[in-house]
Structure 1
Amino acid sequence: MTTKPRPCPICKKPRSEEHTPFCSARCRDRDLSQWFGDGYSVPGRPALPEEIAVAVTQGSED
């Protein structure tokens, strides 16, 4: 059983091995821009600044 290759999630063209899962650097950069510009989000409530501070200080102890 062979599976059909999945297309680039941005433009739906065939993926490039060099830029997987995207077809090109352009699509990879467009995706990154979406994350930086709040185009994508993870569901849930926003973290409180105090929670972030605790997570950062606990992470530095490891």
Structure 2
Amino acid sequence: MTRTCSDPSGPPAGQGRGDVVGVEMAFPHPRGGLEYPMACPICTKPADAKYRPFCSKRCADLDLGKWLGGGYAIPGDDIPDEDNMPGPDAPQRPH
């Protein structure tokens, strides 16, 4: 979840403010205002603009490895084996 700053007295869209208190870094938001940093989804450290939404290349690579390894798979029904599937000659059941 991100929060944006929509203070009309603030700087023009896309330009950061250096006086934001309690935030290490604020990122310019494409629609104007500021987007405050979120925590890295891997280690919960503050995100770095270079590796956003992660804090480092290490955390970005760990997340990519989890995606590639099926760690984020959505559980579902098992796919039947090809041996048990009806062939093109099999009679079709009505829906």
2:48 corresponding residue in structure 1: 16
Matched residue count: 48
- Structure 2 gaps of 5+ residues are 6-34, 80-95
- Sequence identity (%): 47
**Cα-to-partner distance string for 1:26-50 (whole Å, 9 max, x where unaligned):** 0000000001111012465678xxx
1:34 alignment partner in structure 2: 66
RMSD: 2.3
**What is the TM-score of this pair, normalised by structure 2?**
0.41
Give the 3-state SS of the residue equivalent to 1:17 in structure 2.
Answer: coil
- Structure 1, unmatched stretches of 5+, are 48-62
Q: Which structure has greater helix proportion?
A: 1
Moved over 4 A (4+): 1-4, 43-47
Matched, 1:5 2:37: yes
Q: 2:90 maps to what in 1?
A: none
* TM-score (norm: length of structure 1): 0.60
